[in-house]
Structure 1
Amino acid sequence: MEPGSRYPFGGEVVVADRRWNFYVRDVGRVVARALRAAGCEADVVLTDDRTVRRLNYRDRGKNKPTNVLTYERPPEILLALGVVRREAEREGKTVMAHLVHLLVHGALHLQGYDHHHVGEAREMESEEAKILARLKVANPWKNR
Protein backbone atom coordinates (compact mmCIF):
# COMPACT_ATOMS: atom_id res chain seq x y z
CA MET A 1 0.00 0.00 0.00
CA GLU A 2 1.11 3.53 -0.63
CA PRO A 3 1.50 5.98 2.27
CA GLY A 4 -1.57 8.18 2.36
CA SER A 5 -3.94 5.22 2.16
CA ARG A 6 -5.73 3.26 4.84
CA TYR A 7 -3.84 0.46 6.58
CA PRO A 8 -5.09 -2.63 8.43
CA PHE A 9 -4.47 -0.97 11.83
CA GLY A 10 -7.39 1.37 11.13
CA GLY A 11 -5.53 4.58 10.41
CA GLU A 12 -4.11 6.55 7.57
CA VAL A 13 -0.43 7.26 7.02
CA VAL A 14 0.40 10.58 5.40
CA VAL A 15 4.00 11.18 4.40
CA ALA A 16 3.88 14.98 4.24
CA ASP A 17 7.67 15.22 4.10
CA ARG A 18 8.90 12.76 1.46
CA ARG A 19 12.39 12.69 3.04
CA TRP A 20 10.98 10.14 5.50
CA ASN A 21 11.13 7.62 2.65
CA PHE A 22 14.91 8.09 2.47
CA TYR A 23 15.39 7.20 6.14
CA VAL A 24 12.75 4.49 6.59
CA ARG A 25 12.20 1.86 3.93
CA ASP A 26 8.51 0.95 3.46
CA VAL A 27 7.51 3.55 6.04
CA GLY A 28 3.77 2.84 5.79
CA ARG A 29 4.22 -0.78 6.79
CA VAL A 30 6.59 0.21 9.62
CA VAL A 31 3.94 2.58 10.99
CA ALA A 32 1.17 -0.01 10.63
CA ARG A 33 3.21 -2.67 12.43
CA ALA A 34 4.09 -0.36 15.34
CA LEU A 35 0.52 0.81 15.88
CA ARG A 36 -0.89 -2.71 15.64
CA ALA A 37 1.60 -3.85 18.30
CA ALA A 38 0.55 -0.94 20.51
CA GLY A 39 -3.15 -1.70 19.98
CA CYS A 40 -3.80 1.77 18.61
CA GLU A 41 -5.93 3.14 15.82
CA ALA A 42 -4.79 6.59 14.77
CA ASP A 43 -3.82 8.56 11.72
CA VAL A 44 -0.09 9.23 11.43
CA VAL A 45 1.44 12.26 9.75
CA LEU A 46 5.16 12.11 9.01
CA THR A 47 6.10 15.73 8.55
CA ASP A 48 8.84 18.29 9.09
CA ASP A 49 10.13 20.33 12.01
CA ARG A 50 8.52 23.57 10.79
CA THR A 51 5.03 22.09 10.78
CA VAL A 52 5.44 20.49 14.20
CA ARG A 53 6.96 23.67 15.64
CA ARG A 54 3.95 25.66 14.43
CA LEU A 55 1.48 23.17 15.94
CA ASN A 56 3.48 22.88 19.16
CA TYR A 57 3.33 26.66 19.54
CA ARG A 58 -0.35 26.88 18.64
CA ASP A 59 -1.46 24.05 20.91
CA ARG A 60 1.10 23.95 23.72
CA GLY A 61 2.66 27.44 23.72
CA LYS A 62 6.13 26.03 22.98
CA ASN A 63 7.82 27.70 20.01
CA LYS A 64 10.07 24.80 19.07
CA PRO A 65 9.67 21.51 17.25
CA THR A 66 9.27 18.34 19.25
CA ASN A 67 9.71 14.76 18.14
CA VAL A 68 6.08 13.66 18.42
CA LEU A 69 2.73 15.34 18.96
CA THR A 70 -0.44 13.42 19.70
CA TYR A 71 -4.03 14.56 19.37
CA GLU A 72 -6.96 12.69 20.85
CA ARG A 73 -9.74 13.90 18.54
CA PRO A 74 -9.37 12.65 15.95
CA PRO A 75 -6.65 10.29 17.13
CA GLU A 76 -3.54 11.45 15.36
CA ILE A 77 0.21 11.17 15.81
CA LEU A 78 2.55 13.64 14.10
CA LEU A 79 6.31 13.21 13.90
CA ALA A 80 8.97 15.77 12.93
CA LEU A 81 11.68 14.29 10.73
CA GLY A 82 14.50 16.66 11.70
CA VAL A 83 14.03 16.17 15.44
CA VAL A 84 13.62 12.40 15.08
CA ARG A 85 16.72 12.17 12.87
CA ARG A 86 18.88 14.28 15.24
CA GLU A 87 17.75 12.33 18.31
CA ALA A 88 18.39 8.99 16.60
CA GLU A 89 21.88 10.10 15.61
CA ARG A 90 22.65 11.39 19.11
CA GLU A 91 21.38 8.14 20.66
CA GLY A 92 23.24 5.92 18.18
CA LYS A 93 20.20 4.24 16.66
CA THR A 94 18.51 4.14 13.31
CA VAL A 95 15.77 6.57 12.34
CA MET A 96 13.49 3.57 11.88
CA ALA A 97 14.09 2.30 15.44
CA HIS A 98 13.50 5.76 16.87
CA LEU A 99 10.38 6.22 14.73
CA VAL A 100 8.95 2.94 16.03
CA HIS A 101 9.69 3.97 19.62
CA LEU A 102 8.00 7.35 19.15
CA LEU A 103 4.98 5.77 17.46
CA VAL A 104 4.57 3.44 20.43
CA HIS A 105 5.08 6.41 22.76
CA GLY A 106 2.39 8.42 20.94
CA ALA A 107 0.04 5.43 20.87
CA LEU A 108 0.38 5.03 24.64
CA HIS A 109 -0.40 8.73 25.14
CA LEU A 110 -3.61 8.16 23.17
CA GLN A 111 -4.41 5.28 25.53
CA GLY A 112 -4.07 7.50 28.60
CA TYR A 113 -0.44 6.97 29.60
CA ASP A 114 1.65 9.97 30.60
CA HIS A 115 5.08 10.77 32.00
CA HIS A 116 4.70 13.97 34.02
CA HIS A 117 5.46 12.21 37.32
CA VAL A 118 8.11 9.62 38.13
CA GLY A 119 5.65 6.77 38.75
CA GLU A 120 3.76 7.51 35.55
CA ALA A 121 6.98 7.72 33.59
CA ARG A 122 8.18 4.34 34.88
CA GLU A 123 4.87 2.71 34.01
CA MET A 124 4.86 4.22 30.51
CA GLU A 125 8.50 3.30 29.90
CA SER A 126 7.84 -0.27 31.02
CA GLU A 127 4.89 -0.60 28.64
CA GLU A 128 6.94 0.91 25.80
CA ALA A 129 9.76 -1.58 26.45
CA LYS A 130 7.32 -4.54 26.34
CA ILE A 131 5.80 -3.44 23.04
CA LEU A 132 9.20 -2.63 21.53
CA ALA A 133 10.50 -6.07 22.53
CA ARG A 134 7.64 -7.67 20.58
CA LEU A 135 8.72 -5.52 17.61
CA LYS A 136 12.37 -6.53 18.11
CA VAL A 137 13.41 -2.93 18.81
CA ALA A 138 15.97 -2.34 21.57
CA ASN A 139 14.74 -0.96 24.87
CA PRO A 140 15.52 2.78 24.76
CA TRP A 141 15.44 2.97 28.58
CA LYS A 142 17.90 0.13 29.30
CA ASN A 143 21.14 2.13 29.52
CA ARG A 144 19.92 5.28 31.23
Structure 2
Amino acid sequence: MQRTPLVDTLCEDPRWEGFALDTIAESAATAALSHLGISPAGFEISLMGCDDARIATLNAEFRDKPKPTNVLSWPAEDRMAEEEGGTPDLPEPGAPDDPESLGDIAIAWETCEREAAEQKKPMKDHVTHLVIHATLHLMGYDHETEADAALMEGAEIAILAGLGLANPYE
Protein backbone atom coordinates (compact mmCIF):
# COMPACT_ATOMS: atom_id res chain seq x y z
CA MET A 1 0.00 0.00 0.00
CA GLN A 2 1.38 3.39 -1.01
CA ARG A 3 1.77 5.98 1.75
CA THR A 4 -0.59 8.96 1.58
CA PRO A 5 1.39 12.17 1.13
CA LEU A 6 1.90 14.24 4.27
CA VAL A 7 1.16 17.49 2.41
CA ASP A 8 -2.03 17.97 0.41
CA THR A 9 -1.08 20.81 -1.94
CA LEU A 10 -3.44 23.12 -3.81
CA CYS A 11 -1.80 25.51 -6.28
CA GLU A 12 -4.20 28.42 -6.55
CA ASP A 13 -1.55 30.38 -8.47
CA PRO A 14 -0.29 28.38 -11.50
CA ARG A 15 3.31 29.57 -11.01
CA TRP A 16 3.53 27.17 -8.03
CA GLU A 17 2.67 24.18 -10.25
CA GLY A 18 5.67 24.80 -12.49
CA PHE A 19 7.79 25.22 -9.37
CA ALA A 20 6.96 21.74 -7.99
CA LEU A 21 5.61 23.13 -4.71
CA ASP A 22 4.10 19.75 -3.80
CA THR A 23 7.48 17.98 -3.96
CA ILE A 24 9.35 20.73 -2.08
CA ALA A 25 6.66 20.95 0.60
CA GLU A 26 6.54 17.18 1.10
CA SER A 27 10.30 17.04 1.59
CA ALA A 28 10.41 20.08 3.91
CA ALA A 29 7.47 19.03 6.11
CA THR A 30 8.74 15.44 6.33
CA ALA A 31 12.18 16.71 7.40
CA ALA A 32 10.58 18.95 10.06
CA LEU A 33 8.50 16.14 11.56
CA SER A 34 11.40 13.68 11.39
CA HIS A 35 13.61 16.17 13.25
CA LEU A 36 10.96 16.24 16.00
CA GLY A 37 10.97 12.44 16.15
CA ILE A 38 7.57 12.12 14.50
CA SER A 39 6.81 9.79 11.62
CA PRO A 40 4.84 11.60 8.91
CA ALA A 41 2.58 8.54 8.53
CA GLY A 42 -0.77 9.28 10.11
CA PHE A 43 -0.56 13.06 9.65
CA GLU A 44 -1.72 15.53 7.02
CA ILE A 45 -1.02 19.19 6.26
CA SER A 46 -3.02 21.26 3.78
CA LEU A 47 -0.93 23.75 1.80
CA MET A 48 -2.16 26.44 -0.57
CA GLY A 49 0.24 28.08 -3.00
CA CYS A 50 -1.28 31.48 -3.74
CA ASP A 51 -0.36 35.01 -4.77
CA ASP A 52 0.18 38.18 -2.75
CA ALA A 53 -3.39 39.40 -3.22
CA ARG A 54 -4.84 36.20 -1.74
CA ILE A 55 -2.43 36.04 1.20
CA ALA A 56 -3.03 39.75 1.94
CA THR A 57 -6.75 38.98 2.23
CA LEU A 58 -6.03 36.05 4.56
CA ASN A 59 -3.56 38.11 6.59
CA ALA A 60 -6.19 40.85 7.02
CA GLU A 61 -8.92 38.38 7.93
CA PHE A 62 -6.95 36.30 10.44
CA ARG A 63 -4.24 38.64 11.73
CA ASP A 64 -5.76 42.10 11.11
CA LYS A 65 -2.72 42.94 8.94
CA PRO A 66 -3.99 43.92 5.45
CA LYS A 67 -0.75 43.31 3.59
CA PRO A 68 1.02 40.43 1.89
CA THR A 69 3.33 38.16 3.85
CA ASN A 70 5.42 35.18 2.83
CA VAL A 71 3.67 32.37 4.70
CA LEU A 72 0.75 31.89 7.10
CA SER A 73 -0.16 28.88 9.18
CA TRP A 74 -3.23 27.74 11.07
CA PRO A 75 -2.56 24.91 13.53
CA ALA A 76 -5.37 22.38 13.91
CA GLU A 77 -4.69 22.35 17.67
CA ASP A 78 -2.92 24.58 20.18
CA ARG A 79 0.23 22.65 21.04
CA MET A 80 2.30 25.50 22.48
CA ALA A 81 4.39 24.77 25.55
CA GLU A 82 3.20 26.26 28.82
CA GLU A 83 6.59 27.79 29.64
CA GLU A 84 8.66 30.11 27.45
CA GLY A 85 11.28 28.22 25.48
CA GLY A 86 9.64 24.89 26.29
CA THR A 87 9.10 22.12 23.79
CA PRO A 88 5.53 21.97 22.49
CA ASP A 89 3.30 18.93 23.05
CA LEU A 90 3.58 16.47 20.18
CA PRO A 91 0.42 15.17 18.48
CA GLU A 92 -0.76 11.59 18.24
CA PRO A 93 -0.97 10.21 14.70
CA GLY A 94 -4.20 9.19 13.07
CA ALA A 95 -4.70 5.99 11.13
CA PRO A 96 -3.00 5.74 7.73
CA ASP A 97 -6.40 5.93 6.00
CA ASP A 98 -7.62 8.70 8.35
CA PRO A 99 -4.62 10.95 9.07
CA GLU A 100 -4.62 13.53 11.87
CA SER A 101 -4.67 17.08 10.49
CA LEU A 102 -1.81 19.25 11.71
CA GLY A 103 -3.36 22.34 10.11
CA ASP A 104 -3.17 24.59 7.09
CA ILE A 105 -0.45 26.67 5.44
CA ALA A 106 -0.66 29.37 2.75
CA ILE A 107 2.41 30.63 0.89
CA ALA A 108 2.59 33.61 -1.50
CA TRP A 109 4.52 33.57 -4.77
CA GLU A 110 5.51 37.23 -5.20
CA THR A 111 6.70 37.75 -1.62
CA CYS A 112 8.72 34.52 -1.66
CA GLU A 113 10.25 35.40 -5.02
CA ARG A 114 11.17 38.92 -3.86
CA GLU A 115 12.64 37.73 -0.55
CA ALA A 116 14.72 35.04 -2.24
CA ALA A 117 16.14 37.61 -4.66
CA GLU A 118 16.86 40.07 -1.82
CA GLN A 119 18.59 37.33 0.18
CA LYS A 120 20.49 36.13 -2.91
CA LYS A 121 19.40 32.53 -2.50
CA PRO A 122 17.55 30.08 -4.71
CA MET A 123 13.78 30.36 -4.33
CA LYS A 124 13.61 26.60 -3.74
CA ASP A 125 15.81 27.01 -0.64
CA HIS A 126 13.74 29.92 0.64
CA VAL A 127 10.44 28.09 0.12
CA THR A 128 11.88 25.00 1.82
CA HIS A 129 12.75 27.16 4.84
CA LEU A 130 9.30 28.78 4.91
CA VAL A 131 7.50 25.42 4.75
CA ILE A 132 9.68 24.14 7.60
CA HIS A 133 8.96 27.35 9.54
CA ALA A 134 5.20 27.00 8.99
CA THR A 135 5.25 23.28 9.84
CA LEU A 136 6.94 24.10 13.15
CA HIS A 137 4.19 26.65 13.81
CA LEU A 138 1.64 23.87 13.23
CA MET A 139 3.53 21.83 15.81
CA GLY A 140 3.26 24.59 18.45
CA TYR A 141 6.58 26.38 17.92
CA ASP A 142 6.54 30.17 17.94
CA HIS A 143 8.88 33.16 18.01
CA GLU A 144 6.99 35.65 20.17
CA THR A 145 9.56 35.60 22.98
CA GLU A 146 13.37 35.34 22.84
CA ALA A 147 13.34 31.87 24.39
CA ASP A 148 10.67 30.60 21.98
CA ALA A 149 12.46 32.18 18.99
CA ALA A 150 15.77 30.56 20.00
CA LEU A 151 14.10 27.13 20.21
CA MET A 152 12.30 27.53 16.88
CA GLU A 153 15.24 29.00 14.99
CA GLY A 154 17.54 26.30 16.35
CA ALA A 155 15.17 23.64 15.04
CA GLU A 156 14.92 25.36 11.65
CA ILE A 157 18.70 25.63 11.33
CA ALA A 158 19.17 21.95 12.21
CA ILE A 159 16.44 20.77 9.82
CA LEU A 160 17.83 22.87 6.98
CA ALA A 161 21.35 21.62 7.67
CA GLY A 162 20.04 18.06 7.43
CA LEU A 163 18.79 18.95 3.95
CA GLY A 164 22.15 20.49 3.04
CA LEU A 165 20.86 24.09 3.21
CA ALA A 166 22.51 27.08 4.85
CA ASN A 167 21.47 28.83 8.06
CA PRO A 168 18.89 31.44 6.93
CA TYR A 169 19.59 33.64 9.95
CA GLU A 170 23.22 34.41 9.07
1:34 partnered with 2:37: no
Give the match's secondary structure for 1:101: helix
Aligned length: 134
Report the alpha carbon displacement of residue 127 of structure 1 after superposing the two structures with TM: 0.2
**Superimposed CA distance per residue, residues 62-115 of structure 1 (whole angstroms, 9 cap, x where no aligned partner):** 010111000123611110111111111111111110000000000000111100
TM-score, structure 2 length as denominator? 0.74
Amino acid at match of 1:61: D
Alignment pair present for 1:68 and 2:75: no
> Which has the larger Rg?
2
CA distance, structure 2, for counterparts of residue 61 and residue 80 of structure 1: 17
| Distance in 1, Cα, partners of 2:54 & 2:109 | 10
The structure whose residues are more often strand, as a share, is 2
* Rounded Cα–Cα distance in structure 2 between residues aligned with 1:114 and 1:9: 25
In 2: Cα distance, 1:31 partner to 1:8 partner: 14
Q: In the alignment, which residue of structure 2 is the partner of 1:16?
A: 12
Structure 1: tracts of 5 or more residues without a match: 1-6
User: Partner residue of 1:117?
Assistant: 145
Q: Which runs of 5 or more residues in structure 2 are unaligned?
A: 34-39, 77-100
Residue 123 of structure 1, CA deviation? 1.0
Misfit runs of 4+, over 4 Å: none
Q: C-alpha deviations, 1:95-144, integer Å up to 9, x for none?
A: 11000000000000011110011111111100001111111111101x2x
Structure number having the greater helix percentage: 1
The within-5 A match list for 1:1-144 is 8-22=4-18, 24=19, 26-39=20-33, 41-73=44-76, 75-141=103-169, 143=170
- RMSD of aligned Cα (Å): 1.5
